[in-house]
Amino acid sequence: MPELPEVETICRGLAPHLLQAGIVRIILRRAALRVPLPKNLKSSLNARTLQNITRRAKYIRFHFDDDQVLIIHLGMSGRILLHKSLPERYSKHDHVIMHWDNGCALVFNDARRFGLMALSTESELIRHPLFKDLGPEPLHSKWNGRVLYGALQASAAPVKSVIMDQRKLVGVGNIYACEALFDARLHPSRPARSLSREEAVQLGISIRKVLKEAIASGGSTLRDYVRSSGETGYFQHHFQVYGRQKQLCSVCRYPIRIMRQSGRSTFFCEHCQN
């Protein structure tokens, strides 16, 4: 379930347990996820100390000493499990396990294997192929509806597709695109460039709102981030439209509708969103 809020929640949840910890062992139980795992993963990270954890778009980045950066993307089904002690056994889709000098075991689990791991260095990070074409962070203080308006003006595609386009802005996936458009009362099929400046400003406010609320909701579970089972801080968040087809709109009581856009399900209220 990883869009920006989930990835942010994971980063915040891992930090207290792993910052300043050192890697003592890496176990690879599979050669490739979406792409082959870096051949030098073990040699590059073994005995390194974790200095920082950052998020960019939907990517998690572990910054180690000696200039090493581990990049993790969870794809659709990726999970990160943090065990307080070494697990007795691993499950079928536990692909990469990292043992730390504080006794923790970090497990990357991904049933569908759409996730990825890559290595970079601090100096190469900005130019890294995974990052060089990414748009702005919507939660950055300098991002707002006016910036969004410029991106929307450049495209005739449906507004929903454009706010999910990681080159225009990052972090918004199918769920939060649906939620933000509902919050802004905008129909998902509207051509992006048909939005007025005022509508774009409202959409910018709504995007930030739904992302922040989801992070706040995830944050409340961080206390339980590490459980004996190794479950992570994924959270159940209440959605207004996502997954609620046929249920009644909380605003007008018309049934929420579902449609397909670019191969993805879109949930919306036909009555409220124009």
Partner DNA sequence: CGCGCTCCCTGGCCGC
Partner DNA sequence: TGCGGCCAGGGAGCGC
The set of catalytic residues is 2-3, 58, 264
Contact between 219 and DNA by CB under 7 A: the answer reads no
Contact between 183 and DNA by CB under 7 A: the answer reads no
Helix (H) or strand (E) holding 45: helix 41-45
Contact residue for DNA among 123, 142, 228, 263 (CB under 7 A): 263
Residue 224 to residue 17: CA distance in whole angstroms: 12
Q: How far is the CB of 181 from DNA (least distance, A)?
A: 14
Contact between 147 and DNA by CB under 7 A: the answer reads no
Look at residues 191, 192, 179, 188 and name the one whose alpha carbon lies nearest to residue 274: 188
Contact between 216 and DNA by CB under 7 A: the answer reads no
Q: How far is the CB of 58 from DNA (least distance, A)?
A: 4
**Cβ(207)–Cβ(148) below 8 Å:** yes
Residue 159 to residue 165: CA distance in whole angstroms: 10
Contact residue for DNA among 17, 25, 93, 212 (CB under 7 A): 93
Contact between 79 and DNA by CB under 7 A: the answer reads no
Sign of CA dihedral 152, 167, 216, 269: positive
Contact between 230 and DNA by CB under 7 A: the answer reads no
Contact between 130 and DNA by CB under 7 A: the answer reads yes
Contacts with DNA, 151-180, as mask; x by CB under 7 A: ---xxxxx--xx-x-x------xxx-----
Residue 261 to residue 243: CA distance in whole angstroms: 15
Residues in CB range of 58: below 8 A, 6 or more apart: 2, 3, 4, 7, 73, 74, 166, 170, 171, 173
Contact between 2 and DNA by CB under 7 A: the answer reads yes
Contact residue for DNA among 49, 114, 121, 219 (CB under 7 A): 114
Find how far residue 48's CA is from the centre of its chain: 26
Which residues form the interface with DNA (CB under 7 A)? 1-3, 6, 34, 57-58, 73, 75-77, 92-93, 111-114, 130, 154-158, 161-162, 164, 166, 173-175, 192, 262-265
